[in-house]
Structure 1
Amino acid sequence: MNTLVTKLDHKWIHLTLRQPWITAVAASKVQLSTLPPEPVVPSKKPFKVDLVAGKRYSWCTCGHSKNQPFCNGAHKTKAQGLSPLRFVPEKDVTVWLCGCKYSNNPPYCDGTHKQDFIVSATLHEQTYS
């Protein structure tokens, strides 16, 4: 129990507050996070891809897909909280899609793979089961 002392019109008032929620919160050992998991780095280079106008693509954001740079659903078990980035090109075009998963212009490569944190990163090894 905590005691709160306040001054009101030059008179001291003592109040006793009950905080039953403190016991419940202190007893809880569950840690919740609202942050999605970080993607792994499957490649330190972009992927050159020919895109077809009007076709829907799903670019892998987690790095676990065995079908890089596209999604194969691996995020559902290996990176829950991350979802693929879906896009439809307006015209047939050849582009460089990000392979490191840290582009500031996803799904397109912006050169982020040249930064030290990617250059020094460990490449994610695909496991085949």
Structure 2
Amino acid sequence: MNRLVNKLDLKWVRFTFRPPWSPATAAAKAGLSTLPPDPVVPSKKPFKAELVGGKRYSWCACGHSKKQPFCDGAHKTKASGLSPLRFVPEKDAAAWLCGCKHTGNPPYCDGTHKQDFIASAPLHEPTES
């Protein structure tokens, strides 16, 4: 019995004094960021869109798309940490989709574009690549 207790004590000591591993410390050591990039501001006004009920849409969340407010896949090369928001409206309707990409109610505009940090932000112009 004494020998069994000694083995358990050794395992307990080894696990107790080992420094804890966490993804945050591992990322910091490697110089990686776990936060997604911030979206760019392609427009300081919302986009009016006629949406078809039951149809799936992909709203651009990164701001790099040339087909605003919808995704064209530009996030794959220019903002790999951001993905489009896919949504399906319940019925046919006109909607104001966010153009500044900072709404609190994506993909719909909530008036965030009227705030100073958006009003003073530079507009992003899509580039050829």
TM-score w.r.t. length of structure 2: 0.77
- Residue deviations 1:63-88 (CA, integer Å, cap 9, x gap): 00000000000000000010000000
Partner SS state of residue 50, structure 1: strand
Partner of 1:10: none
Q: Which structure carries more helix by proportion?
A: 2
Letter in 1 for 2:107: P
Q: Which structure carries more strand by proportion?
A: 1
Partner SS state of residue 108, structure 2: coil
Distance across 2 between alignment mates of 1:36 and 1:30: 17
Partner of 1:85: 85
Distance across 2 between alignment mates of 1:29 and 1:115: 37
Q: How many residue pairs get matched?
A: 106
CA shift, 1:128, in A, is 2.4
Larger Rg: 1
Partner of 1:68: 68
**Structure 2 counterparts to residues 37-52 of structure 1, below 5 A:** 37-52=37-52
Distance across 2 between alignment mates of 1:29 and 1:81: 20
2:102 is aligned with 1:102: yes
After TM superposition, the structure 1 stretch with the greater mean CA deviation from structure 2, 29-38 or 42-51, is 29-38
Distance across 1 between alignment mates of 2:39 and 2:77: 13
Distance across 1 between alignment mates of 2:60 and 2:95: 15
